[in-house]
C-alpha cells in the first residue's frame, strides 16, 4: 500500500486515477485548487469506491501549504496532474500557463525535496512530439513544441531529467498521454469542461445532448483516409490503470518517459459515427478550415508501456463513446447540477 499525494486529483484524469488507486488499496490525498474542477467529483469518487478521501483546497504555487500537506498526509509518492491544459488559452495567456505549469511544478519539487520524498509520476502529453516525423510515435521521437502549453510540458520534462541527473536516487515516471476520452463506467465521474469544449469528444457529446447545435470539423483535406484528423483516443479508465501500474513499479532510481496510448488512430468522422451509435442521436456537423496548429495524424507506439509497466489499453472506441455518453446523459450540465 502506498500513500499518494495526488495534485489535481479532482480533475478529469485525476479523479479516474483516484478510483483505480483506491480500489487497489492505496491511500490517496487530493491537493487541488478547484480552478478547473469541482469538489463534487471527490464525493463521486467516494461513492464509487465506498471509501473516504482526504483532500485539501490548495494551490501548487503555495510551497508552505504543500509542505504541510505532504507532512500531514505522510505520503511517500506524488502523482502530479495539477496544471492548465488548453492549447488555445495558453497562446493567449502564456504567463499564466508558464506560472501554473512550470513554476507550479518547481514549487512542488522544492516541497518534495524539503520533505525528503522523491517518487513522482508526472502527466506529460503527446504534444511534446510536435509535428510527427514518423509514426507510430516512439518515446525517442524528437521533441518540440508549437505553443506555450506544449512548451511548458517540455520544460518540465527537461527539469525532471536534470533532477534525476543531479540526484539519481529520484524515481520519476513521465507519462505521455495521447487523447484521453470517455468516463468511468458508473457514469458518476467524467470530463466537465468549463465553457465551450476545445476537444473533440466533449464537443460531440454536447451536440448529441443538445447543448450545442452542431460540430465544426476542422479540415477535411488532410492526407488521411477520409481527409479528417486522426488521433489515438484512449479511454480515461485505461489511462488511470496506467498510473496504477506506474505507482506499483515506482521506487527504483530512474527517470523514464512512457507513452500511454492504444496504438490505434481514429478520424474525426470515425468518432462522430461511433458516438452516433453509442447515443442513438444525430450529430450535425459541417466542415470548416483546418484549426491552426493541428496535425494530420498522431498515434502512439505503446510497446514500452507494456514492456516496462505491464500495461496496455483494453477498451476500444465503442466503450469510449458508450461511457462518455452515459456520463453526459446522466449529467447533462456536468457537475453543475447534482
What is the C-alpha separation between 160 and 124, in angstroms, rounded?
11
Q: What is the DSSP string of 30-67?
A: EEE--TT--HHHHHHHHHHHT---EEEE--TT-HHHHH
Interface residue with ligand WQD, options 27, 89, 294, 319 (CB under 6 A): 294
Partner in contact with 294, chosen from ligand NAD, ligand WQD, none, beta carbon below 5 to 8 Å by kind: ligand WQD
Give residues with Cβ within 8 angstroms of 262, minimum separation 6: 178, 232, 233, 234, 238, 299, 300, 302, 313, 316
- Does residue 229 touch ligand WQD according to CB under 6 A? yes
Q: What is the DSSP string of 271-319?
A: HHHHHHHHHTS---EEEEPPPTT--SB--B--HHHHHHH-------HHH
Beta-bridge partner residues of 29 = 5, 54
| String marking each residue 248-267 x if it binds ligand WQD according to CB under 6 A | --------------------
Residues 83-112 that bind ligand WQD (CB under 6 A): 85, 87
Task: Determine the 3-state secondary structure of 108 from DSSP.
Answer: helix
What is the C-alpha separation between 293 and 267, in angstroms, rounded?
17
Per CB under 6 A, which region of 60-68, 195-203, 238-246, 303-311 contacts ligand WQD? Answer: 195-203
When the beta carbons of 118 and 151 are compared against ligand WQD, the nearer one is: 151
Q: Where are the alpha helices (DSSP H) in the chain?
A: 12-23, 39-49, 63-73, 87-92, 94-97, 104-114, 148-166, 200-209, 236-249, 268-279, 303-309, 317-330
| String marking each residue 106-145 x if it binds ligand NAD according to CB under 6 A | -----------------x-x--------------------
Per CB under 6 A, which region of 21-29, 34-42, 50-58, 215-223 contacts ligand WQD? Answer: 215-223
Interface residue with ligand WQD, options 93, 113, 199, 254 (CB under 6 A): 199
Active site residue 335: no
Q: How many CA atoms lie within 13 A of 168 on its CB side?
A: 0
Q: How many CB atoms lie within 10 A of CB 306?
A: 14
What is the C-alpha separation between 334 and 338, in angstroms, rounded?
8
Beta-bridge partner residues of 285 = 215
- In angstroms, give the least distance from the CB of 116 to ligand NAD: 22
- Does residue 177 touch ligand NAD according to CB under 6 A? yes
Beta-bridge partner residues of 54 = 29
What is the C-alpha separation between 1 and 180, in angstroms, rounded?
27
- In angstroms, give the least distance from the CB of 100 to ligand NAD: 5
Cell of 338: 447534482
Residues 263-292 that bind ligand WQD (CB under 6 A): 268, 291
- Does residue 262 touch ligand NAD according to CB under 6 A? no
Interface residue with ligand WQD, options 26, 44, 164, 231 (CB under 6 A): 231
Per CB under 6 A, which region of 44-52, 138-146, 155-163, 193-201 contacts ligand WQD? Answer: 193-201
Cell of 100: 501554473
Partner in contact with 229, chosen from ligand WQD, ligand NAD, none, beta carbon below 5 to 8 Å by kind: ligand WQD
| String marking each residue 49-88 x if it binds ligand NAD according to CB under 6 A | ----------xxx-------------------xxxxx---
C-alpha separations of 221 from 199, 293, 299 in Å: 19, 15, 19
Interface residue with ligand NAD, options 5, 6, 12, 324 (CB under 6 A): 12
Which residues in this chain contact ligand NAD in the complex, by CB under 6 A? 8, 10-14, 32-37, 59-61, 81-85, 100, 104, 123, 125, 177, 180
Which residues in this chain contact ligand WQD in the complex, by CB under 6 A? 85, 87, 125, 127, 179, 198-200, 203, 215-218, 229, 231, 268, 291, 294
Amino acid at each position: 500500500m502506498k500513500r499518494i499525494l495526488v495534485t489535481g486529483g479532482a480533475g478529469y484524469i485525476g479523479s479516474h486515477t483516484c478510483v483505480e488507486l483506491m480500489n487497489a488499496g492505496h491511500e490517496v490525498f487530493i491537493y487541488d485548487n478547484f480552478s478547473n474542477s469541482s469538489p463534487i467529483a471527490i464525493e463521486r469518487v467516494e461513492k464509487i469506491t465506498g471509501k473516504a478521501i482526504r483532500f485539501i483546497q490548495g494551490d501548487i504555487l503555495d510551497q508552505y501549504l504543500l509542505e504541510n500537506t505532504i507532512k500531514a498526509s505522510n505520503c511517500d509518492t506524488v502523482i502530479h496532474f495539477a496544471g492548465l491544459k488548453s492549447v488555445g488559452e495558453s497562446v493567449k495567456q502564456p504567463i499564466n500557463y508558464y506560472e501554473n505549469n512550470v513554476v507550479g511544478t518547481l514549487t512542488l519539487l522544492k516541497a518534495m525535496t524539503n520533505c525528503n520524498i522523491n517518487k513522482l509520476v508526472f502527466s506529460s502529453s503527446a504534444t511534446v512530439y510536435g509535428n510527427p516525423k514518423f509514426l507510430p510515435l516512439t518515446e525517442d521521437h524528437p521533441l518540440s513544441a508549437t505553443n506555450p502549453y506544449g512548451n511548458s510540458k517540455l520544460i518540465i520534462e527537461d527539469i525532471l531529467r536534470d533532477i534525476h541527473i543531479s540526484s539519481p536516487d529520484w524515481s520519476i515516471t513521465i507519462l505521455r498521454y495521447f487523447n484521453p476520452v470517455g468516463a468511468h463506467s458508473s457514469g458518476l465521474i467524467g470530463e466537465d469542461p468549463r465553457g465551450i469544449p476545445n476537444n473533440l469528444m466533449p464537443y460531440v457529446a454536447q451536440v448529441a445532448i443538445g447543448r450545442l447545435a452542431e460540430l465544426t470539423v476542422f479540415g477535411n483535406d488532410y492526407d488521411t483516409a477520409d481527409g479528417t484528423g486522426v488521433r489515438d483516443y484512449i479511454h480515461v479508465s485505461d489511462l488511470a490503470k496506467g498510473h496504477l501500474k506506474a505507482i506499483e513499479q515506482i521506487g527504483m532510481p530512474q527517470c523514464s518517459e512512457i507513452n500511454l496510448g492504444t496504438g490505434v488512430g481514429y478520424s474525426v468522422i470515425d468518432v462522430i459515427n461511433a458516438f452516433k451509435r453509442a447515443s442513438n442521436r444525430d450529430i450535425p456537423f459541417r466542415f470548416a478550415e483546418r484549426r491552426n496548429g493541428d496535425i494530420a495524424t498522431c498515434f502512439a507506439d505503446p510497446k514500452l508501456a507494456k514492456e516496462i509497466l505491464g500495461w496496455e489499453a483494453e477498451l476500444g472506441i465503442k466503450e469510449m463513446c458508450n461511457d462518455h455518453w452515459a456520463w453526459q446523459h446522466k449529467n447533462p450540465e456536468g457537475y453543475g447540477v447534482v
